[in-house]
Amino acid sequence: MAAQTLAAYAADESQSRGRRYPESRAAYRGEYQRDRDRIIHSTAFRRLVYKTQVFVNHEGDLYRTRLTHSLEVAQIGRTVAGALSLNESLTEAICLAHDLGHTPFGHAGQDTLNECMRDYGGFEHNLQSLRVVDELEAKYADFPGLNLMFETREGILKHCSVGNARQLGDVGERFLNRGQPGLEAQLANIADAIAYNNHDVDDGFRAGLLSLEQLCKQRLFGVHYDVVHTRYPDLEDRRLIYEIMRRMINTVVTDLIDETRRRLDAFRPQSIDDVRRAGETLVAFSDETAELHAGLKRFLNRHLYRHETKLAMTKEVQAMIRNLFAAYTSDVGLMPPEFARAAELPDAAGRARVIADYIAGMTDRYAMAEHERICGKS
């Protein structure tokens, strides 16, 4: 689209590998804007409002959900895309779609569904995000899914096992030949990590699971705490946290832009295909910031995601997913008619996949209500 000047290494829709099913061009939108709009209008996107990021949806109204998380990722992604003259619309589309395949109950849900699917090809949420936009959204008369541009699909598929990559055709190729995706995809991936790392600090503190003392031992947090506390010694904790978080995000985003510029200067890619062949990720933190960021992630892993009050909830939701999977497996008629019909397949793997699609699409509260309906109160 005309408004933004794109760098030579950015994704340009006129050079795109296009859509799986050819369509005429949009009259007054760019093709990646059109993708973004399709994503926002999808059923899976609307359901993100009731899906967990870290806290289960009923634990409180103030925590982030996957919808607000996805918006925050898009916000960070667009800012960096603008600074680097990358394609903002494509970046936004990938960011908004990156979690569409997530199960209810966050990572606990995803890991449990993966276990249930162990004998049937497993369950990967990234692959499921692609499956949602390629197959499961039923919105168009002429094709399945949302028929997104290749570069959007390439960005949504962040990770993928080699076995699955072989079955995906062009969008799986880079996992077989160690290629990189376009810069917008690389950026969306890091914007996701920036968003959840920083915002989980906020939610964890709000929930009372992380204390200021603990957080101050984290280098990335501690450095900014000292600056803010010295300048505003009487600031109440909530505002203090926001002041620190804003500085943390600003620090890592600035580093990301600087280091990426340095790499782009060194590699001088002249097209998105040069980026794909670069042999390493070009959108990246400096080594020092990468280590700080990884340190914060390790800290959250230890002190928030595995906090004992979270572990109790984790066990409960794991049991719900297992029970639902077992119940639908023994009686597909417990699912709505369109899934029950789709699950009437002779092969167990095909049947299990339909069940996994159904469970993965559930919101936290729908999964809980279904569990109560089918299995009784837990």
Q: Where along the sequence are the contacts to Mg ion (CB under 5 A)?
A: 99, 192
Are the C-beta atoms of 180 and 275 separated by less than 8 Å?
yes
At closest approach, how far in Å is the CB of 69 from Mg ion? Answer: 6
Whichever of 91 and 147 has its CB closer to Mg ion, that residue is 91
Closest CA to 137 of 104, 89, 94, 101: 101
| Least distance from Mg ion to the Cβ atom of residue 132, Å | 14
As measured in angstroms, the least distance from the Cβ of 180 to Mg ion is 20
Residue 156 near residue 21 (C-beta atoms within 8 A):
no
**Closest CB to Mg ion among residues 64, 351:** 64
Q: Judging by beta carbons within 10 Å of its beta carbon (0-12, 13-18, 19+), is residue 366 exposed, middle or buried?
A: middle
Question: CA–CA separation, 162 vs 170, rounded Å?
Answer: 13
3 state DSSP class of 317: helix
Least spacing, CB of residue 192 vs Mg ion, in Å: 4
CB of 74 or CB of 332, closer to Mg ion:
74
Measured from the CB atom, is 13 or 124 closer to Mg ion? Answer: 124
Q: Which two tokens stand for residue 315?
A: 């066990």
Picking from 113, 132, 134, the residue whose alpha carbon sits closest to that of residue 124 is 113
The minimum distance between CB 87 and Mg ion, in angstroms, equals 20
Place of tokens 């077992």: 326
Q: How far is the CB of 70 from Mg ion (least distance, A)?
A: 7
By beta-carbon proximity to Mg ion, the closer residue of 72 and 154 is: 72
Question: Cα–Cα distances in Å, from 218 out to 169, 225, 230, 237, 376?
Answer: 43, 10, 18, 17, 43
Looking at beta carbons only, is 111 or 273 nearer to Mg ion? 111
Q: Is 6 helix (H, G, I), strand (E, B) or coil?
A: coil
Task: Return the bridge partners of 149, or none.
Answer: 19
